[in-house]
Amino acid sequence: MTNYLISLDQQIGEYNSLLIRDVKLNPHETGKVATTIWSEVAKNIDTIVSLYEDKVSIDNRLVQMHNFIAWNATFSQFIETLPTDLRANVGATGLVVNIYYSFVYLKDSLFQILSKLSTQTVSARCSNYLLAPNNKAIRNAFSHGNWIAPGNGILTYWAREKWGDPSSLQERQMKEREFDFLLRLSRGVGVAAFDAMHLSITKNV
């Protein structure tokens, strides 16, 4: 278990109340989400590999996730150097990249797979939460450009209540803290799972 996973545990654990309320984790699980997922994936590696049908290798996925996290850290530092009136608009670029990795890149390649594990696992509960209709609506809103940069601490987006019916487009809002939680949880699940998959497969070669 690496210090990096422990760091992810701490980052995700800051959202203790949301993990309990929305993800349905138990209080004793909220402080070790990443390390628990790592252990669960390693334990269920045969099942997970049998479900993994991607053309992109697991090693490549892991490298891409680390590259994304490194980019995100650098971008966050860059944003802090900008005048206050520019931060929201420039930050929107980073928001789009985060949405892609959190809700598109990891959806089929990981979340769909982990969701098939026992619902008693932290892996499955986190993945099912990230795949839930409310979060799918965010992904769709960004795919269709129906969103406004959260310069005021509120993310505003529009999602269809009925698929294929433009008249059903409804405005929705999410507080920046809740949105940050989604992104942080998604990154944590992605890195922990792909790291465990990579190491488990390497040991078996």
Give residue-wise pLDDT tens across range 20-31: 999 999 999 999
Task: For residues 93-109, give the mean pLDDT.
Answer: 91
Which has the minimum average pLDDT: 9-13, 150-154, 176-180? Answer: 150-154
Give residue 165's pLDDT: 67
The secondary structure element, H or E, covering residue 160 is strand 154-160
Q: How far apart are alpha carbons 91 and 87 in whole angstroms?
A: 6
Residue range 164-191, pLDDT digits in tens: 667 778 899 988 889 899 999 999 999 9
pLDDT band at 193 (very low <50, low <70, confident <90, very high): very high
Instruction: Return the DSSP state at 105.
Output: I
Which has the minimum average pLDDT: 37-51, 61-75, 150-164? Answer: 150-164
Amino acid at 203: K
At 116, give phi and psi (nearest 5°). Answer: -85, -5
Where is mean pLDDT largest: 9-13, 91-95, 132-136?
9-13
Q: Which residues pair with 147 in a beta bridge?
A: 157
At 173, give phi and psi (nearest 5°). Answer: -135, 150
Q: Which residues pair with 172 in a beta bridge?
A: 157
Residue in 133, 158, 122 with CA at minimum distance from that of residue 143: 158
Name residue, tokens 């944003």: 79
